[in-house]
């Protein structure tokens, strides 16, 4: 199909643009660094918002990620895709954040009190066209799921987010975490096992959930 080759050309052009931007930023052009930021930062912020407890935390993770990238840019040697390099930094920054929080959670004083900033709005509030009953159902499930996710260890949490909510392949997740696809897969399975155990009651008591997806026999060919 012609559009495929056009997409290939676009992808090649984008890669060439990114390469030129990296070189210019490495040579000290601040506009080039900002342009690079603009190419990737929505995804970085999105990931941070999924993992962070508050919008403010997400903004801090975003900033720390790009400051680290800025300081380390002269060491980028084009040995992997820039996006992989950048997401590696983002992943580590998120992991650091989750680890700091895990430590803080063990202290009784800060166990319940958040930093004063409002948590994210309940995503169910925004689900368009959902009926109230379903809204209630998904709101409750989302809250339970959120709590269960918070119980995972940082690495499992990150892998689960990258897989199920960023839609990344296990191979790419392995690259980002500087590990193998197999190791990423094991982390994902551990996370899944823990989550399913934590949500077993919901899972068993909500046959309605299965109805949210089509029956196996009529499954559309996409996931």
Partner 1 sequence: MNCQDAQALLRTLSCGEATPADRAALEAHAAGCPACRQRWQGEEAWLALVAQRRPAPVSDAALAQARQALHRALAAEPAPAARGGWRWPAFSAGAVSRQWAPRWSPAWAALLLIAGFGGGWWAHHAPSLTAGSPAAAAQVRVQTVEPASAPGQVRVVYDLVRQQQISGPATNPRLRHLLLLAASQPANAGMQLESIAALRPAASQNPVRRTLLAALTGDPNPGVRLEALNALRPLVTANAGVRAALAQVVLRDPNPGLRMQAVAALAQAPRADAGRWLRRLSVQSSDPYVRLNCVAAMQQLDLAPPAAAWGAFTAQPAPASGIQRQ
Q: What is the rounded distance in angstroms from the CA atom of residue 101 to the CA atom of residue 154?
A: 10
Cβ atoms of 177 and 89 closer than 8 Å: no
Backbone phi and psi for residue 220, each to the nearest 5 degrees, phi listed first: -70, 160
Nearer to partner 1, 71 or 105 (CB): 71
Residue 209 touching partner 1 (CB under 8 A): yes
Contacting range for partner 1; rule: CB under 8 A; set: 39-47, 91-99, 109-117, 150-158:
39-47
Contact set for partner 1, span 81-110 (CB under 8 A): 81, 83-84, 87
Contacting range for partner 1; rule: CB under 8 A; set: 93-101, 108-116, 150-158, 196-204:
196-204
Q: How many CB atoms lie within 10 A of CB 173?
A: 25
Residue 8 touching partner 1 (CB under 8 A): no
Residue 20 touching partner 1 (CB under 8 A): yes
Task: Tell me, rounded to whole angstroms, the distance of Cα 120 from its chain centroid.
Answer: 15
Contact set for partner 1, span 114-143 (CB under 8 A): 120-121, 123, 126-127, 138, 141-142
What does the DSSP assignment read for 45-66? HHHHHHH-SSHHHHHHHHHHHH
State the maximum Cα–Cα separation within the chain, in Å, rounded to a whole number: 62
Residue 189 touching partner 1 (CB under 8 A): yes
Token pair 């190419």 in the structure block, residue: 39
Residue 164 touching partner 1 (CB under 8 A): yes
Nearer to partner 1, 111 or 205 (CB): 205
């Amino acid at each position: 199909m012609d559009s495929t080759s056009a997409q290939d050309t676009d992808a090649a052009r984008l890669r060439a643009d990114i390469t030129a931007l990296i070189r210019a930023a490495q040579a000290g052009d601040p506009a080039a660094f900002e342009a690079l930021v603009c190419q990737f930062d929505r995804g970085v912020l999105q990931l941070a918002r999924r993992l962070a407890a508050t919008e403010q935390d997400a903004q801090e993770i975003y900033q720390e990620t790009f400051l680290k990238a800025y300081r380390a840019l002269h060491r980028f040697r084009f040995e992997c895709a820039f996006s992989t390099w950048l997401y590696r930094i983002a992943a580590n920054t998120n992991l650091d954040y989750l680890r700091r929080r895990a430590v803080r959670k063990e202290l009784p004083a800060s166990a319940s009190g958040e930093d004063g900033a409002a948590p994210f709005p309940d995503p169910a509030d925004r689900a368009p066209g959902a009926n109230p009953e379903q809204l209630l159902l998904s709101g409750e499930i989302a809250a339970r799921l959120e709590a269960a996710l918070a119980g995972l260890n940082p690495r499992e949490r990150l892998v689960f987010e990258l897989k199920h909510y960023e839609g990344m392949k296990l191979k790419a997740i392995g690259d980002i975490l500087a590990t193998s696809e197999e190791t990423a897969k094991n982390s994902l399975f551990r996370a899944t096992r823990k989550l399913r155990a934590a949500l077993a009651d919901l899972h068993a008591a909500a046959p309605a959930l299965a109805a949210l997806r089509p029956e196996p026999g009529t499954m559309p060919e996409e996931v």
